[in-house]
Amino acid sequence: LILSGSPYSILSKDRKAPIVDKEIFSLGIPILGICYGMQLIARLFDGGIITSGHNEYGKTKIKLNLKSPLFKDLKPLETCWMSHKDSVVKIPPAFNVIASTPNLPIAGIEEPKNKIYGIQFHPEVMHTPSGMDILKNFLFDICGCSPTWTMVSIIEKQIKKVKDKVKEGRVICGLSGGVDSSVAAVLVSKAVGNKLTCIFVDHGLLRKGEAGKVVETFKQNFKINLIHINAKDRFLSKLVGVIDPEKKRKII
C-alpha cells in the first residue's frame, strides 16, 4: 500500500482530511507513506507532529541511511523535492529515522519488522532524481512485486482473448480511422485474420485526404478486409442550416 500526499493538514479538524483505519497495518503487507502519508503513519502510531511557521517547498539535499532497503544503491546524500507545512518531530515507538535534511531532522522513518516506511519528500516527481529508484526498491525488493507488465504481454493477452471469444465465427468492426477503433481492428486482425471485415463510413467530416489514408493504411499496409462507404452527401445534407454544435453532434 502507498499512502499518498495531500493538500490537507494532518492536524486539521477538517473532516475532509484523509484518514485510514489503523487495522490496515495489521494486514502484514508493506506500506509506504509519502509526505502527508508519512505524517499520517506517525500520527496513528503516536508520533509527534507540528505545523511550522512556513511551508517548505522546493529542492533540498537529503541525507539517507543506506542500511534501509528503501534506499538500496543510492548515494548517502541525494537531492529531493519537499512540499509540506507539517513536520514529524517525534518518531513513534519501534520506528527508526532513515532520512534527514538540514531543516528537517526526521525526513524518513521505518518500522522494519512490519515493513512500514514513511518519507517526507516526494519521490514521484522529476525534481527527485533518485525517486523512481526508491519506488522500485519499495515495489520490487520490499514488496516482492514482479515487473512483468509489458506492452507485448498485453497484446498477446488481448489476442488470445479475442481468439477464445470468436472461435470459428466472423467479426465486423466499425472503423472510424481514429486511434481506438484502429487499434481494436489491428488487434482483432492479428487474432482472426481474414475473418475480420472492417466497415469504414466516410461521413465527409474528416480532415483533407484522411479518408484515403485510412483506406490505404488498412487495405495495403495491414491487408485487412475493408468496406469503404462514401456517405458524405447523406451526412452533410442533414447538417444544412444547423448552427448549434450539440444538434450537429446528435445528427451525426
Q: What's the pLDDT score for residue 128? A: 94
Q: Which of 124, 143, 203, 228 is catalytic?
A: 124
86 plus 113 within the same structural domain: yes
Residue 37 or 153, more confident: 37
What is the reported pLDDT for 54?
Answer: 62
Residues 16, 71 share a domain: yes
Domain of 196?
151-251
Q: Look at residues 121, 142, 163 and tell me which one is the last residue of a structural domain.
A: 142
pLDDT digits (tens, 9 = 90+) for 190-240: 999 999 999 999 999 999 999 999 999 999 889 999 999 999 999 999 999
Do 59 and 137 belong to one domain? yes
Q: For 88-116, what is the mean pLDDT?
A: 94
pLDDT band at residue 80 using 50, 70 and 90 as cut-offs: very high
Identified catalytic residue from 78, 84, 110, 122: 122
pLDDT at 113: 94
pLDDT over 90 at 84, yes or no: no
Is it the case that residue 15 has pLDDT exceeding 80?
A: no
- Please tell me which residue in 35, 80, 173, 198 is annotated as part of the active site: 35
228 is catalytic: no
Beta bridge partners of 119: 34, 108
Total number of domains constituting the chain: 2
Q: Which of 142, 177, 211 is the last residue of a domain?
A: 142
Region 153-163: what's the mean pLDDT? 93
Same domain, 76 and 199: no
Tell which wins on pLDDT, 56 or 114: 114
Q: Give 155's Cβ-side CA count (13 Å radius).
A: 9
Looking from the CA of 198 toward its CB, the CA atoms found within 13 Å total 27
Together in a domain, 130 and 165: no
Q: Of 175, 163, 152, 165, whose CA–CA distance to 222 is shortest?
A: 175
* Distance in angstroms (rounded) separating the CA atoms of residues 55 and 2: 23
* pLDDT the model gives residue 89: 92
The yes-or-no answer on residue 84 being catalytic is: no
Whether residues 27 and 133 share a domain: the answer is yes
Average pLDDT over residues 19-29: 93
Kindly state the percentage of the chain with pLDDT values over 70.
Answer: 99
84 and 37 assigned to the same domain: yes
Same domain, residue pair 10 and 124: yes
For residue 52, pLDDT beyond 80: no
Q: Is 56 found in the same domain as 138?
A: yes
